[in-house]
Structures are given as structure tokens and as C-alpha cells.
Amino acid sequence: MPKIKTHSASKKRFRITGTGKVKMNHAFRSHRLVSKARKAKKQHRLGAYASSADEANIKMLIPYK
């Protein structure tokens, strides 16, 4: 059985937790922060979990993580 290539962009953005959930960071925190609300900036500091609908696709992209 040949190895499967890992998707390079996905391995930088997602991690698999011990229970099998997909952990990720929020978007919209890199630039133009002056025009965004304080509450939005504050909420996007924390990590998040990918939805269960997207989990299977992400796990296919990073098979060995």
C-alpha cells in the first residue's frame, strides 16, 4: 500500500486532538483590525473545533497527524 501525501496547507492549519476532533484557529485576525469590533477580535483569539460535517474531509487531507 503506497503512502498518501499530506496536504501542506492543511497540516499548518489543523491538528487532531486525542479524542479525534479537529482543532483550528479562527480567521480574520491578521490585518485591518482597526475596523473590526473589539468583541470579534477577542473571540477570534481562541482556538476552535471544526464542524463535524468538515471533519472527514480534513482528516483525509492530513492522514498521518
Q: Which CATH number does the domain housing residue 24 bear? A: 4.10.410.60
Alpha carbon distance 25, 64 (integer Å): 20
Q: 25: domain range? A: 8-61
Q: Positive or negative, the Cα torsion across 10, 11, 17, 20?
A: positive
pLDDT in tens, 6-47: 999 999 999 999 999 999 999 999 999 999 999 999 999 999
| Whole-structure pTM value | 0.83
Instruction: To the nearest 10°, report the CA torsion of 24, 20, 11, 25.
Output: 0
Does some domain include residue 41? yes
Structurally, the chain folds into a number of domains equal to: 1
Alpha carbon distance 49, 65 (integer Å): 16
Alpha carbon distance 6, 33 (integer Å): 33
Q: Can you give the pLDDT at residue 33?
A: 96
